[in-house]
């Protein structure tokens, strides 16, 4: 993933128009607080071979990521969730690893965007 494309800035602009800078900062904070736990839960579920738990772990990342414009996260979470729930015979380890790596980039972009938001 191109780091410059990790977060679509128009999503953040849309949120700012909706609720102001404080609202966007709060949305970013909430996302950055819960996303690592969801990724850890996905990794644990994968290690345990629990596909249902894997799908459930990544499901909330779809909407939260989408709200903030992290569309790469949305696509990965959706693909993992679909494969897990449908028991598709594909290797999920690389997808979960990519999800974690993508989040690292998204986190950096959101943290940078958060600091530029005006009060």
Residue of 66, 41, 74 whose CA lies nearest to 55: 41
Which is higher by pLDDT, 53 or 118?
A: 53
* Model pLDDT for residues 51-70, shown as the tens digit of each residue: 999 999 999 999 999 999 99
3-class state of residue 115 by DSSP: helix
- Render 16-33 in DSSP notation, one character per residue: HHHHHHHHHHHHHHHHHH
Average pLDDT over residues 73-79: 96
The CATH fold of domain 18-113 = 1.20.120
Backbone torsions φ then ψ of 63, nearest 5 degrees: -75, -40
Domain ranges of the chain: 18-113
């Amino acid at each position: 993933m191109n780091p410059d494309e990790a977060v679509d800035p128009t999503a953040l602009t849309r949120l700012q128009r909706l609720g102001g800078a404080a609202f966007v900062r709060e949305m970013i904070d909430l996302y950055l607080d819960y996303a690592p736990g969801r990724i850890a839960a996905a990794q644990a579920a994968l290690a345990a071979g629990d596909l249902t738990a894997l799908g459930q772990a990544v499901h909330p990342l779809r909407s939260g990521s989408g709200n903030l414009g992290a569309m790469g996260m949305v696509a990965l979470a959706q693909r993992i969730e679909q494969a897990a729930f449908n028991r598709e015979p594909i290797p999920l380890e690389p997808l979960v690893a990519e999800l974690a790596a993508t989040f690292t980039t998204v986190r950096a972009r959101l943290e940078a965007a958060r600091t530029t938001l005006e009060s």
